[in-house]
Every structure is written in structure tokens, then in C-alpha cells.
Amino acid sequence: MSMAAAVETQLPGDRISKRNFERLARFIYDYSGIKMPPTKLTMLEGRLRRRLRATNHATFDDYCDFLFNQDGLAQETIYLIDVVTTNKTDFFREAKHFDYMQSVALPAIAGSGVRTIRTWSSACSTGAEPYTMAMVLAEFAEGRNDVSYSVLATDLSTDVLQTARRGIYPEDLIAPVPRDLQRKYVLTAKQPERREVRITPKLRSRIGFARMNLMDEKYPIGEPMHVIFCRNVLIYFDKQTQAGVLNRLCDCLAKGGYMFIGHSESITGFDLPLKQVSNTVFQRI
């Protein structure tokens, strides 16, 4: 059958109907805060096809009936959210943030008498951000007896958390990591043809990974954090959702602590207990 013939004979159920798209978009927004405008329809169809196969549903109509009329959301929510989240990540992404963290934030925090610097990557994706944070922290703490550190790394997606915990990456992904840090914190594969690297067990052991939804009313992070990274997440939320997330993050940030957001993001117009100290870097007041 030609491609043209296949399109002509496509069943209506092979596309997401307007009604079902609206139901999916509303659920995704209510659960995760992620906006799903009509321009995302084709993307959503492509990403959900594997869920149709995994749940043995022949059409999108059947799948949506399973979700919304047969209590399928109880078992499918985690997988549904996994396929719609965006997971671009790089080591030392927006490198000026890590320069500021190393040269200004960490010395100020340690200078205030903090013995254990608590840090949080609140949308850690596949792990490049928290591992970069851990490298910077390890370098800062090296040779010092007066300071230690911890890194909490959370994300909504179980898929990316699994990758992050393993700490195995294509070797080209670590190109932004300075050579001296690669030698200390990155292991190369014993089989060069695999072209993979792995973060050292010692550095991996300093990071606690957990699933967390930034839409939740409270973030169970324990004691306040001294550094919070929430980068390139706010852009997916509307203003109301941004306000809620930012206020909850501020509740988790110790006075004098630092919050880093993405270079394309802004907190202008929000009433927050923060002052700007550098480009997209803010301090709790």
C-alpha cells in the first residue's frame, strides 16, 4: 500500500479527536502545570503511540476511553507524564551560573557558618545538572574540614530519573566538562567502541534522587536549601502556575540562599522574598 493510500484509509480513531485532546491537555495541565496548546497535537500523537501499544489499545479513542472512563489514569499517569515532558539537558549548561555558584554563592554560604551546604536541582532531567552541581561542590569542599555538601535531585519523570541514577552518558555529552574535572569525576567505558562514560560512584553517592511534582502543595525536602536550581522549567507554565511554584520554592530556600532560573526566564512581576544578585540569580531576603 502506498503512503497516500494509507493516509486515505486511516481510521478516525488513529488521530486524537478535538474532544480527547482537550481532555488530555486539561489533565496534563492540572497534574503537571505543563501547557499543551493545539499546536502540540501532532507531537502528542507521536509520543503517545507507544503507550497505545503498551496498553494494547488500537486507537486513541480506545486509549482515552480507558484513561477517562475506566480509571486507567490510576495506572497510566506516570507514563503519560513521562512522554510529554521535555528533557533537554547538558553538563555545565548556562555555565555562568556555575561560575557564580563557585566564586560567590558557595564562599558566602560557607562564610556565614553553614557546615553542610544543602543544594537542590528541582527539575534534574537525566542528571547533567545535579552532577555538574556536585562537581562544583566537591571542588569547593576539597581540602576543607569546615564544610560538606548534599545534593537533592528531583523530577516529575520516572524515565529521566532512572537514567540519572545510572549516571551513564554518551561520551560527547560530557564535552563541556573541563578536562581536569573529567579526570576526577568521569569514568570511560572499558570497551571504547561503546563511546560511553559514567559518573564516578563517589560522586553519584552524594546525590539523592527522588520523584517530585512541582505542582504539589508542599515540597518534602526537609531542612531549607542553601542553593536551588529551577532552570528552564517556568517557561512551560502559565503565570498563575509560575507564581505558585516560585512561592513554594522560596519557602524551601534558606535566608541568604540562592535561586538560579533559566536565562530565558524571568520573575518580574511576582511578589517574592528575593533580590537579584546576578543575571537570573536571586538571593533570599
Q: Could you read off the pLDDT of 54-107 as tens digits, one per residue?
A: 899 989 999 999 999 888 888 889 888 888 876 668 999 999 999 999 999 999
* Model confidence band, residue 13 (pLDDT cutoffs 50, 70, 90): very low
From the list 15, 23, 47, 165, the catalytic residue is 47
In a domain? residue 90: no
Digit-coded pLDDT (tens) for 105-140: 999 999 999 999 999 999 999 999 999 999 999 999
End of a domain among 55, 84, 113? Answer: 84
Residue set of the binding site: 87, 89, 93, 129, 155, 213-214, 231-232
End of a domain among 84, 106, 134? Answer: 84
Residue set of the binding site for S-adenosyl-L-methionine: 87, 89, 93, 129, 155, 213-214, 231-232
Kindly tell me if the per-residue pLDDT of 1 is higher than 70.
no
CA 258/CA 106 separation, integer angstroms: 9
Whether 143 and 217 map to the same domain: the answer is: yes
* Model confidence band, residue 216 (pLDDT cutoffs 50, 70, 90): very high
Q: Is the Cα dihedral 92, 94, 99, 100 positive or negative?
A: negative
**Mean local confidence (pLDDT), 138-156:** 95
- 3 state DSSP class of 47: helix
Active-site residue, 211 included: no
Alpha carbon 216 to chain centroid distance? 15
pTM: 0.83
Whether 202 and 227 map to the same domain: the answer is: yes
pLDDT of residue 74: 86
Active-site residue, 179 included: no
* Model confidence band, residue 35 (pLDDT cutoffs 50, 70, 90): confident
pLDDT of residue 8: 33
Whether 69 and 100 map to the same domain: the answer is: no
In a domain? residue 201: yes
183: CATH: 3.40.50.150
> How many other CB atoms are there within 10 angstroms of residue 192's CB atom?
9
Digit-coded pLDDT (tens) for 159-209: 899 999 999 999 999 999 999 999 999 999 888 788 899 999 999 999 999
267 vs 1, which has greater pLDDT?
267
Whether 41 and 145 map to the same domain: the answer is: no
Kindly tell me if the per-residue pLDDT of 50 is higher than 90.
no
Whether 163 and 192 map to the same domain: the answer is: yes
Percent of the chain with pLDDT over 90: 74
CA 237/CA 177 separation, integer angstroms: 30
pLDDT of residue 113: 96
For every residue of 227-267, which 3-state class applies, written as one string?
EEEECCCHHHCCHHHHHHHHHHHHHCEEEEEEEEECCCCCC
In a domain? residue 196: yes
In a domain? residue 53: yes
Whether 54 and 135 map to the same domain: the answer is: no
In a domain? residue 223: yes
Alpha carbon 53 to chain centroid distance? 26
Q: Which of 242, 27, 218, 209 lies closest to 124, judged by CA?
A: 209
Whether 146 and 113 map to the same domain: the answer is: yes
- Alpha carbon distances (Å) from 190 to 193, 195, 214: 9, 10, 39
Kindly tell me if the per-residue pLDDT of 2 is higher than 60.
no
CA 164/CA 126 separation, integer angstroms: 5
End of a domain among 26, 56, 84? Answer: 84
For all residues of the chain together, what is the average pLDDT? 91
Residue 162 corresponds to which cell in the numbers above? 532512572
- 3 state DSSP class of 279: coil
35: CATH: 1.10.155.10
Whether 41 and 127 map to the same domain: the answer is: no
Give the E-state strand segments of the chain in sequence order: 116-121, 148-155, 168-170, 186-188, 196-199, 207-211, 225-230, 253-261, 274-278, 281-284
In a domain? residue 78: yes
Kindly tell me if the per-residue pLDDT of 280 is higher than 90.
yes
Whether 71 and 104 map to the same domain: the answer is: no
In a domain? residue 30: yes
Domain coverage including residue 197: 95-284
Q: Which of 81, 85, 105 lies closest to 281, judged by CA?
A: 105
Quote the number of domains for the chain: 2
Whether 187 and 49 map to the same domain: the answer is: no
From the list 51, 61, 118, 155, the catalytic residue is 155
Whether 104 and 146 map to the same domain: the answer is: yes
In a domain? residue 89: no
Query: Is 259 exposed, middle or buried, given 0-12, 13-18 or 19+ CB atoms closer than 10 A?
Result: buried
Whether 169 and 276 map to the same domain: the answer is: yes
User: Cβ contacts of residue 148 below 8 Å, gap of 6+?
Assistant: 115, 116, 117, 141
